[in-house]
Amino acid sequence: MKKFYFLVALISVISFSAGARDKQDGWKQLGTGSFCDDMFSALDNSYLDTWDVEIEESETTPGYYRLVNPFGNGNCPYFGENNKFEANDLYIHAEDPEHVWMEWQDLGFGVGSYGNVAVSCMVGLYIYSEIFTFEDLLDPDYGIEFGKLADGKITFPDNEWYYLQVAFSNYLEGTPMNGNTNNRFLVTLPPSAGIGAISADDCHAAPEYFNMQGIRIDNPAPGTLCIRRTGTRVEKIIAR
């Protein structure tokens, strides 16, 4: 019965057709991946589905991904027949595969009486709240746990101190609640993302370097931790 009433709230989202997605400047379309959010489970633990999503990567910041309208793309099973509507993309920072994080972001739709939805990881919430900077959180002394990108899969920690955060504007006065409490959040990138793959073209491509914030740098100083992109291959290195 609880699930029935929650479903009624979900399908009361004001919705309209999103239509086809045109390529946008600055973003490369990677293809179709999959997504399990484990964030709506903060309201009802039975919402743990996986569905197909289109995924894009920033052309200027390798490893910065966005899931194209993941909740309103017509594939999300949470909204019944009203599952196609315009909403915001979901952005994930995986420039450094060992330090993946999700910025605080409004998903661009509301869920019935619960109100508008916003999400992030704890790192994103710290940065949004101006408690710490990203550089602060990289300091091992803080002991911060980040998400990971490995084998083309993005995951976040199974640790109550670093759960994903989800907030509904009209529920609990918008106080963020823990998400990913089932440790099921998962983004599987399309094979075309080329994570960890080396192609013949990669062997001949000129390397590009970026700092840990994804800003391009020409000549990283020796001993600097940075991101190197060679063709489609992206890796974290210490410059020599």
8 A C-beta contact, residue 122 and residue 101:
no
Q: Classify burial at 222, counting beta carbons within 10 Å of its beta carbon; exposed 0-12, middle 13-18, buried 19 or more.
A: exposed
What is the structure's pLDDT at 104?
A: 96
Q: What is the H or E stretch that residue 122 is in?
A: helix 122-128
Q: Are 97 and 148 in contact (CB under 8 A)?
A: yes
**Number of residues that this document lists for the chain:** 240
pLDDT of residue 216: 80
Q: Are the CB atoms for 228 and 237 separated by under 8 Å?
A: yes
pLDDT at 195: 52
Would you list the domain boundaries of the chain?
2-6+24-192, 196-240
Q: pTM of the predicted model, to two decimals?
A: 0.76
Contact at 8 Å (CB) between 157 and 179? no
Gap between the Cα atoms of 195 and 210, Å rounded = 17
pLDDT attached to residue 15: 34
Measured distance CA(31)–CA(177) in Å, rounded: 31
Which residues have a Cβ under 8 Å from the Cβ of 12 and sit 6 or more positions away?
Answer: 111, 112
Low-confidence ranges of the chain (pLDDT < 70): 1-24, 193-204, 232
CB 234 within 8 A of CB 150: no
Question: Residue 225 CB: number of other CB atoms within 10 A?
Answer: 14
Phi, psi (degrees; rounded to nearest 5) at 14: -70, 120
- b or e along 167-194 (b: 16 or more beta carbons within 10 Å of the residue's beta carbon)? bbeebeeeebbbbbbeebbbbbbbeebb
Is the dihedral angle over the CA atoms 128, 131, 137, 142 positive or is it negative? negative
